[in-house]
Amino acid sequence: MEKVQGLIAAAFTPFHEDGSINYSLIPALVDKLVEDGLRGIFVCGSNGEGPNMTTTERMEVAAAFTKAANKRLLIFVHVGHSSIAEARQLAAHAQQIGADAISAVAAFYFKPTSVQNLADSMAQIAAAAPELPFYYYHIPHLTGVGMDMIQFLEIAGPAIPNLAGIKYTATTLQEYQACLQYQGGKYDILYGLDEMLLPAMAVGAKGAIGSTYTFAAPLYLQTMEAFRKGDMERARALHAYMVEVIRILVKYPPIPGQKAIMQMLGWDLGPCRLPLTTFPEAAYLKFRDELAALSFFDKAPARNVVHT
């Protein structure tokens, strides 16, 4: 299996003001991500509010992104669900529409009770799309499932023929490195915390999936290029800048905050769905002023301004 190198954007799902999905905006958003130099798109994950959508909506959104990408970008479809039956349906659909990979979080209501139980659950989901690479989505701060990922690879590897790797969204870089090196680097372990991209690269990361890549991919790609060239001073400076941006972002609810940034850049992706809430005007203006103080809008200028 060819490992992913570069950045995959965890894309937002556009909504109309009434909460319905704004499918018409997806092609322009995909074009933006192509122009920004992304390697792929992660659809219906945390950023895309997948858990806030119905199974039918998730299928329709996945199909819209896949059609718009037209093989210009890899399409990773998140199929995780508290119901394994629903997850299997989403996985089978992703294979049917021509997506490039699937990924699933652990069930987050009735949680897996052991690594074996987790691997058994993921095997059921992956088996519904046997032709697609499957990535377990490790994000313990959201799912509450924080099991040993080396043990997971040991158990899941033989049980899941299409196991490609892990979307590793956690701060435990020592375990991340161990996963990268497991069985001579057999698996594709994609890093998932944007503010730790440079440290992850230092221990071997070549590919990453993240939310802020949707609006700041060129800045991260400059960091990656400086690292590859051995210009560590520049890589650290570029990375430190995005850390400062994220330090501002995390003072606000992260998904509504990032949708607000997209709006500031000319991309009105609509509101979030409850229990997520859209920024009130005062918070929006304060947030914008804080980003402007870092010259963020000079470094990530608006392009392809689109209105709903």
Annotated active-site residue in 167, 168, 182, 187: 167
CB 206 within 8 A of CB 214: no
DSSP letters of the chain?
-PPP-EEEEEPPPPB-TTS-B-GGGHHHHHHHHHHTT-SEEEESSTTTTGGGS-HHHHHHHHHHHHHHHTTSSEEEEE---SSHHHHHHHHHHHHHHT-SEEEEEPPSSS--SSHHHHHHHHHHHHTTSTTS-EEEEE-HHHHS----HHHHHHHHHHH-TTEEEEEE-SS-HHHHHHHHHGGGT-SEEEE--GGGHHHHHHTT--EEEESTHHHHHHHHHHHHHHHHTT-HHHHHHHHHHHHHHHHHHTTS-HHHHHHHHHHHTTB----PPTTS-PPPHHHHHHHHHHHHHTTHHHHS---S-B--
Q: Which amino acid is at 188?
A: D
Q: Is 191 an active-site residue?
A: no
Annotated active-site residue in 32, 135, 136, 137: 137
Q: Is 167 an active-site residue?
A: yes
Residues marked active site are found at 137, 167
